[in-house]
Structure 1
Amino acid sequence: MTRTEIEEKVREFLIDDLEIDEEKIVPEGKLKDDLGIDSLDFVDIVVIIERKFGFKIKPEEMAGVVTLRQFCDYIESKVGE
């Protein structure tokens, strides 16, 4: 899966499943501060990632992930394994 495909899938579920405004979805957008993703949303994200990308998110691996770009980097590192 290419980086573009990952970013498109992430963008798609942020808009469709979490109802985040499309204009807020930018690489440097902060997941909590800019996109408004809270702990309940994160539970949904875990399920969505497992379904769309085929791996489980480990909370400890997400500790340093702040921006959308870092989130896509994380997914890319896992999909490539």
Structure 2
Amino acid sequence: MKNREQILETLTKILVEEFEIDEGDISLNASLYDELDLDSIDAVDLVIKLQQITGKKIHPETFKAVRTVDDVVSAIEALVTAE
């Protein structure tokens, strides 16, 4: 997972498989909480999944500001390129 497209692809797969979100609802501008109906527990589960995939520790502060799918992609991109 190196570029934004791959990160979005992986994130979409997780949202569809783990959270049963309709792939058609997932876009960069989609709000995780309002449009995709994630709650705080889902957000924690998502962070854990992303940590497993990236092999990186994701700090909770990083995800506090995350509101949209694009925010998640940007946060993961920053994480994986910070090597």
TM (norm. structure 1) is 0.91
- In structure 2, runs of 5+ residues without a counterpart are none
Aligned to 2:43: 42
Mapping of 1:1-81 within 5 angstroms?
1-81=2-82
Cα distance in 1 between the residues matched to 2:62 and 2:9:
22
- In structure 1, runs of 5+ residues without a counterpart are none
Cα distance in 1 between the residues matched to 2:75 and 2:47:
13
TM (norm. structure 2) is 0.89
Contact 1:46 1:56 in 2 (8 A): no
Task: Give the C-alpha shift of residue 43 in structure 1.
Answer: 2.1
Task: Give the C-alpha shift of residue 70 in structure 1.
Answer: 1.1
Task: Give the C-alpha shift of residue 60 in structure 1.
Answer: 1.3
Cα distance in 1 between the residues matched to 2:41 and 2:55:
21
RMSD of aligned Cα (Å): 1.0
Deviations 1:22-49 (A, max 9, x none): 1110110001001111112112112201
Contact 1:15 1:22 in 2 (8 A): yes
Task: Give the C-alpha shift of residue 62 in structure 1.
Answer: 1.7
